[in-house]
C-alpha cells in the first residue's frame, strides 16, 4: 500500500514536471531562447539574470534532466508496483518517448530549425504528458476504486415533497416590514441570475478580448461586452430556475430557490428573464452582429438545449453543455473585430475541457441530490470511481489545451508558470479526492478547478495587456 502511494506521488510529480517542460517550451519565451542557445547539451555563455533568454534555455534543459531522472524512477517504481498492466504499458510508452524528445530538442537547438521540428518537439512533449496522465488515472482507479458501487439503472425522481403544511422554517411574509420585503424580493431576483458564475465567465470573455486586441482594447468594447455577458448569464440563470422549479423542490441544494418556494411567481420570473435577455442583446448588438448572435446562442443553448434536453436525458449532459460556457471566449474574441480566430477557438477549447473537471467534483458532492432529482449525472449512472477517473482525464486534456493555446499565441512566462503551478495544485487536489473520497475533498478539488481557470485567465489578460 505504502509502495503504491509512493508510486502515485512520484507519477503525479512526473506528470507535473513534464507539463512544466511542455508549457515552458510552448511559450514565446522559449522560442527566443532557441536562438539564444544553439549549443548542446549545455548553453555557452554566462547564465545570468541580465540574459533572460539564456536563463530560460538553461532552465529548460536542467528541468528536462531532472524530470527525466524522476520519470525513470517513476517507471521503475511502477513496474515493481502491484498495479494494472495498462499502467505499466503507459509508463513504458512514456519512457520510450523521452529519449526521442531529448534528441528532437537537441536537433532543434543545434540546427536552429523552425517550423515542423519544433512542432514535433511540442507534440511529443504533449504525448509524454498524456501517457503519464493516463497512467495516473488508471493507477488511481486501481489503488482507490471500488467495484461495490451500484450505479443506478432506473432513475425515477423522488416523490415531490408535500407543500401543504407550509412549515419550511421561513418567516411569514406578513410579519416582515415593507423594507425587509422589498430587499428580500430584490435579493431573490438577484439570486435568479446565478451571480456566483459571473466572475469567472466575465474573465473568460475578458481573456478572449485581451488575446485578440492586446493593448488596444477600448473601454467601450469592454463595458458593452462584459455588461452584455452579465445580463446574458442572468437571463440564462433565470430561465433555468423557471424550467427546473419542480425538480428544484426535490433536491436539498436547490429546494430554497426563489421560484421553487413561490417567492417569485413563474410569470414574473419569465418576464424578468426576457427583459434581461433583451437588454443583453441590446448591448451585444452595439458591439457587433456576431457577438449578438453568439450571445443569443449561449442563452438558448444553456436554457433550452442544456436544461431541457441534455441535463435530464444523457450522462454526457455537462460535457456537451460545456459548449455554452465556452461561448463567452468567442464572444470576447469577436467583440474586437467581428471575426472568430484560432486562438479564440483554442481558449474556448480550454473552457470546454475544463468544465467536466470542474463540475464532476460537485456531481460527486451532490450525488444523492442529483439522484433524487432524477438527473443522470456521471456518479449516479456510472459510479464514483469512474467519475473520479474522468476528472483526471479532463484535467489532463485541459492542461494540454492550455499548452496548445500558449503555442498559438505569444503568451509568456507568467501564463506558463500559472498553468503549471495551478495545474499542479488542481492535480494534487484531485489525487487527494481519490484517496479521501469525502464531500470536503470534492469541494477542495472544485475550488482548485476554479482557482486554476481564474488565475490562468488573469495571467492571459496580464500577459496580453501588460507584459
Ligand X SMILES: CC(C)=CCC/C(C)=C/CC/C(C)=C/COP(=O)(O)OP(=O)(O)O
Binding site for ligand HEM (CB under 6 A): 196-197, 200-201, 204, 318, 321-322, 325, 351, 355, 358-359, 362, 450
Work out how close the CB of 241 gets to ligand HEM at its nearest, in angstroms, rounded to a whole number: 11
Eight-state DSSP code of residue 174: G
| Binding partner of residue 351 among ligand X, ligand HEM, none, CB cut-off 5 to 8 Å per kind | ligand HEM
> Taking CB positions, which residue lies at the least distance from ligand HEM?
325
Work out how close the CB of 234 gets to ligand X at its nearest, in angstroms, rounded to a whole number: 9
| Binding partner of residue 450 among ligand X, ligand HEM, none, CB cut-off 5 to 8 Å per kind | ligand HEM
Q: Which is nearer to ligand X, 36 or 298 (CB)?
A: 298
Eight-state DSSP code of residue 173: G
- 3-state DSSP assignment of residue 169: coil
| Binding partner of residue 302 among ligand X, ligand HEM, none, CB cut-off 5 to 8 Å per kind | ligand X
Q: Which is nearer to ligand HEM, 61 or 367 (CB)?
A: 367
Q: Name 396's Cβ contacts closer than 8 Å, sequence gap at least 6.
A: 15, 129, 130, 133, 134, 137
Q: Which is nearer to ligand HEM, 97 or 455 (CB)?
A: 455
Q: Which is nearer to ligand X, 129 or 239 (CB)?
A: 239
- 3-state DSSP assignment of residue 438: coil
Does residue 356 contact residue 398 with C-beta atoms inside 8 Å?
A: no
Cell numbers describing residue 372: 433524487
Q: Which is nearer to ligand X, 250 or 434 (CB)?
A: 250
Q: Which is nearer to ligand X, 244 or 463 (CB)?
A: 244
Work out how close the CB of 324 gets to ligand HEM at its nearest, in angstroms, rounded to a whole number: 7
Work out how close the CB of 162 gets to ligand HEM at its nearest, in angstroms, rounded to a whole number: 25
Cell numbers describing residue 168: 419550511
167 sits in the region (left: phi over 0; alpha: psi -120 to 50; else beta) called beta
Rounded Cα gap, residues 90 and 138, in angstroms? 10
Positions in the binding site for ligand X (CB under 6 A): 197, 201, 229, 232-233, 236, 240, 244, 295, 298-299, 302, 311, 321, 324-325, 328
| Binding partner of residue 341 among ligand X, ligand HEM, none, CB cut-off 5 to 8 Å per kind | none
Cell numbers describing residue 36: 539564444
Cell numbers describing residue 210: 485581451
Cell numbers describing residue 264: 417569485
- CA-nearest of 114, 119, 120 to 97 is 120
Amino acid at each position: 500500500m505504502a509502495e503504491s502511494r509512493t508510486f502515485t506521488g512520484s507519477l503525479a510529480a512526473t506528470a507535473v514536471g513534464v507539463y512544466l517542460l511542455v508549457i515552458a517550451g510552448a511559450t514565446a519565451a522559449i522560442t527566443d531562447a532557441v536562438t539564444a542557445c544553439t549549443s548542446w547539451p549545455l548553453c555557452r555563455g554566462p547564465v545570468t539574470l541580465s540574459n533572460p533568454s539564456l536563463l530560460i534555455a538553461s532552465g529548460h534543459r536542467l528541468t528536462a534532466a531532472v524530470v527525466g531522472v524522476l520519470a525513470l524512477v517513476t517507471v521503475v517504481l511502477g513496474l515493481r508496483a502491484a498495479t494494472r498492466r495498462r499502467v505499466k504499458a503507459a509508463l513504458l510508452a512514456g519512457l520510450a518517448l523521452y529519449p526521442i524528445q531529448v534528441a528532437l530538442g537537441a536537433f532543434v537547438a543545434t540546427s536552429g530549425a523552425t517550423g515542423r521540428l519544433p512542432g514535433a518537439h511540442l507534440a511529443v512533449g504533449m504525448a509524454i504528458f498524456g501517457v503519464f496522465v493516463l497512467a495516473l488515472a488508471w493507477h488511481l482507479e486501481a489503488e482507490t476504486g471500488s467495484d461495490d458501487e451500484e450505479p443506478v439503472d432506473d432513475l425515477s425522481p423522488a416523490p415531490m415533497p408535500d407543500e401543504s403544511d407550509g412549515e419550511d422554517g421561513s418567516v411569514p411574509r406578513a410579519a416582515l416590514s415593507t423594507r425587509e420585503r422589498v430587499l428580500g424580493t430584490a435579493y431573490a431576483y438577484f439570486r435568479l441570475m446565478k451571480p456566483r458564475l459571473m466572475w469567472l465567465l466575465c474573465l473568460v470573455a475578458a481573456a478572449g478580448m485581451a488575446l485578440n486586441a492586446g493593448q488596444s482594447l477600448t473601454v467601450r468594447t469592454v463595458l458593452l461586452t462584459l455588461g452584455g455577458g452579465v445580463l446574458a448569464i442572468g437571463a440564462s440563470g433565470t430561465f433555468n430556475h423557471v424550467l427546473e422549479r419542480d425538480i428544484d423542490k426535490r433536491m436539498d441544494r436547490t429546494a430554497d430557490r426563489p421560484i421553487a418556494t413561490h417567492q417569485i411567481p413563474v410569470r414574473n420570473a419569465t418576464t424578468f428573464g426576457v427583459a434581461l435577455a433583451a437588454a443583453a442583446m441590446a448591448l451585444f448588438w452595439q458591439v457587433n452582429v456576431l457577438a449578438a448572435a453568439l450571445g443569443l446562442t449561449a442563452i438558448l443553448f444553456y436554457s433550452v438545449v442544456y436544461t431541457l434536453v441534455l441535463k435530464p436525458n444523457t450522462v454526457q449532459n455537462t460535457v456537451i453543455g460545456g459548449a455554452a460556457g465556452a461561448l463567452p471566449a468567442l464572444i470576447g474574441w469577436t467583440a474586437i473585430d467581428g471575426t472568430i480566430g484560432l486562438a479564440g477557438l483554442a481558449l474556448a477549447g480550454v473552457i470546454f475541457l475544463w468544465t467536466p473537471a470542474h463540475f464532476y467534483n460537485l456531481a460527486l458532492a451532490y450525488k444523492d441530490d442529483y439522484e433524487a432529482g432524477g438527473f443522470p449525472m456521471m456518479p449516479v449512472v456510472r459510479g464514483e470511481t469512474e467519475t473520479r477517473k474522468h476528472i483526471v482525464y479532463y484535467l489532463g486534456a485541459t492542461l494540454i489545451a492550455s499548452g496548445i493555446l500558449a503555442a498559438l499565441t505569444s503568451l509568456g512566462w507568467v501564463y506558463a508558470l500559472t498553468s503549471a503551478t495551478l495545474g499542479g495544485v488542481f492535480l494534487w487536489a484531485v489525487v487527494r479526492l481519490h484517496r479521501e473520497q469525502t464531500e470536503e475533498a470534492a469541494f477542495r478539488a472544485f475550488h482548485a478547478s476554479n482557482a486554476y481557470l481564474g488565475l490562468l485567465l488573469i495571467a492571459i489578460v496580464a500577459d496580453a495587456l501588460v507584459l
